[in-house]
Amino acid sequence: NISKEHKLPQREKSAKNSGWVGTDESGKGDYFGPLVVAGVYLDNKVAPQLEAYKVRDSKKISDRVILGLDYKIRSLCIYSVVVIGPEKYNFLYSKMKNLNLILAWGHARVIENILLKKECSKVISDQFGDEKLIGQALMEKGKKIMLIQMPRAEDDLAGASASIVARAEFLKRMEAVSKECGIALP
């Protein structure tokens, strides 16, 4: 139940900075489309609005609804999106030799981008490999956060918001590639 998942511990609610970031990715394993990593900053003022919009894991929502929710999330929240197209993915893979390292790099970039816009002390991310990977990819600002990696991070409202933003960006990019190719790519 997302409405219960987003609630922070009481001591954090009363703290000066009551916001947190969720991160997620879309397009992992797709041949034509990009790998998209998104991060969304939420606080206790915005969270009820997103709950009212029924924000939840993008895998449980139709593509049409995702695009509408994406607009609402981007209008209300601080967010960051990192898009890694096939050419860039192949370049990064030739250097890193590991998908989890590329994912960690993408998650770290969106976290750092958000931290440049808004101070935050807590980030919730999907656990997709060794927990040290994202932490090692973070730069100076990111090293100061509490990073929580867990299976199904999209059960958290910020993680669900990030999953929607990442999926919507993936869908938009796939539509552009389909138009460029002249065929609808699945």
Over residues 102-133, the pLDDT tens digits come to 999 999 999 999 999 999 999 999 888 888 99
Given pLDDT bands bounded at 50, 70 and 90, which one contains residue 7? Answer: very low
Is this model's pTM higher than 0.85 or not? yes
The pLDDT score that the predictor gives to residue 129 is 86
Is the pLDDT assigned to residue 4 strictly greater than 70?
no
Q: How far is CA 80 from the centre of its chain?
A: 8
The model's pLDDT over 154-182, given as tens digits with 9 standing for 90+, comes to 999 999 999 999 999 999 999 998 999 89
Task: Give me the mean pLDDT over the 12-32 stretch.
Answer: 77
Query: What is the C-alpha to C-alpha distance for residues 69 and 168, in angstroms, rounded to an integer?
Result: 9
* Owner of token pair 């969106």: 110
pLDDT value at 70 more than 60: yes
